Chains A and B, each alone.
Chain A
């Protein structure tokens, strides 16, 4: 039933809603927090402020998440009669849950990042091979990033249980090895989150199938998707038979330090396979694997 309100009543109820949101705002920052932030800022007098952890976060999960997200969007776009959250959930789950329990998911991909803009000197372009091994039973994730130009190891990351260990071969001209307690890192109800996000994208009509192409004799849809206030354009090729993602490309138009520019990111999935756990060497998902790979003499930082 519709409840009919006068304009005045509507405005009053909206103001009441705003008052409720006011109570949800974080409190003014305490002195301790302010001091921490200030010290952190003062300690970061370096050109690049992209933290290794942020890079890890997005590279580790980027391809799979984006693939799942776009699968959900595309499925909805292709099935207008079934545009329901339940349908989106099924499709997203289908994309995510293709890993068999007890196996190790192995993904080989390439990753490139290029910044076009006035600040291009601040961001070195990347052209990397990106390898991920994810234990289906949640025992660990190992990620290797190597420079495709010379095959050298750029980064090695292992997350086991609640601990992340990272080796970066060159950060600001020197190697870095650190580990971090991840037990407090937020792990959201991702599918619920994505379904909500997808629903909004469907409502605003930002995901569309723009064409089809043949790759290696198989048919793929081309799906384009604009999100985040129109500043991210995503283009995906997706196999029509099972909705698997072949390529995922993202152009991010953003401003950096007040000047305009475009950041281009590309992930191309080359192989996705499932391995028997026994096919990997002992200690493959261990913290020691990272420490052993680090440049000798690199101190281990603990965060």
Chain B
């Protein structure tokens, strides 16, 4: 990819990709690394991507890298916890909210959909285009993820809405 294409893609989508990666990884530092990898791949292999598909291409690569990050992180923390004192998670400008502990248990597709809908205020049609699903599937992914988050957070009594609406904790 030549500099002009890179600058164009970066200017249009760099901030959103970085913000998504920060949200998905739960860390400003890790988010920066994953976002940089995303654009490095675009530099190396984005020649074949048509301009109208650049955003979706970047989102999908970022999504795959974030999913890979979560697989890595799960493994890493298991051994580290045995070998090191526990330290607060790296925040570097964004303090992980209580909800992130629950957000990270979602699938990457769910995290991405939640990010696009809530942070980027995208329509479901737009989300569907970016993630390669139908609009109804995107909508279903979003609301299922929201309901699962809400149920898990309510169960533990954390989060923005602690009103019980049913579930295993209600007897």
Contact = CB atoms under 8 A, between A and B. Distances in A.
B165 A10 contact: yes
A215 interface: no
Contacts of B35: 37, 41
Contact of A254 (B57, B64, B69): B64
Nearest to A196: B105
Interface stretch (A18-26, A166-174, A288-296): A18-26
Nearest to B164: A3
A254 B35 CA distance: 18
A189 B118 contact: no
A62 interface: yes
A159 B160 CA distance: 39
Contacts of A300: none
A70 B108 CA distance: 21
A22 B114 CA distance: 9
Contacts of B42: 41
Interface residues of B, number: 84
A51 B76 contact: no
Contacts of A86: none
A51 B37 contact: yes
Given A2-B166, A37-B14, A64-B79, A26 B19 contact: yes
Interface string B108-124: 11000011001100000
Contact of B115 (A25, A187, A189): A25
A186 B88 CA distance: 6
A236 B4 CA distance: 49
A33 B14 CA distance: 11
Contacts of B33: 40, 51
Interface in A4-63: 5, 10, 13-14, 16-30, 33-34, 36-38, 40-42, 44-47, 49, 51, 54, 57-58, 60-62
A46 B43 CA distance: 9
Among A54, A62, A188, the one with the most B-chain Cβ atoms within 10 Å of its Cβ is A188
B152 to A, nearest CB: 8
Contacts of A64: 78-79
Given A21-B118, A22-B119, A37-B14, A58 B72 contact: yes
Contacts, number: 236
Given A33-B18, A186-B77, A232 B71 contact: yes
A193 interface: yes
29 contacts: A5-B165, A13-B165, A14-B146, A17-B150, A20-B160, A22-B119, A26-B22, A26-B119, A28-B15, A29-B19, A29-B22, A37-B35, A40-B32, A41-B40, A58-B76, A60-B76, A61-B79, A65-B76, A65-B77, A138-B84, A141-B79, A186-B30, A187-B86, A188-B81, A190-B77, A191-B81, A197-B105, A255-B64, A258-B60
Interface of B: 6, 10, 14-15, 18-19, 22-23, 27-33, 35-45, 49, 57, 60-61, 64, 67-90, 93-94, 97-101, 104-105, 107-109, 114-115, 118-119, 143, 146-147, 149-150, 159-161, 163-166, 170
Interface of A: 1-3, 5, 10, 13-14, 16-30, 33-34, 36-38, 40-42, 44-47, 49, 51, 54, 57-58, 60-62, 64-66, 68-69, 96-97, 99, 134-135, 138, 141, 159, 183-191, 193-194, 196-197, 200, 228-229, 231-232, 252, 254-258
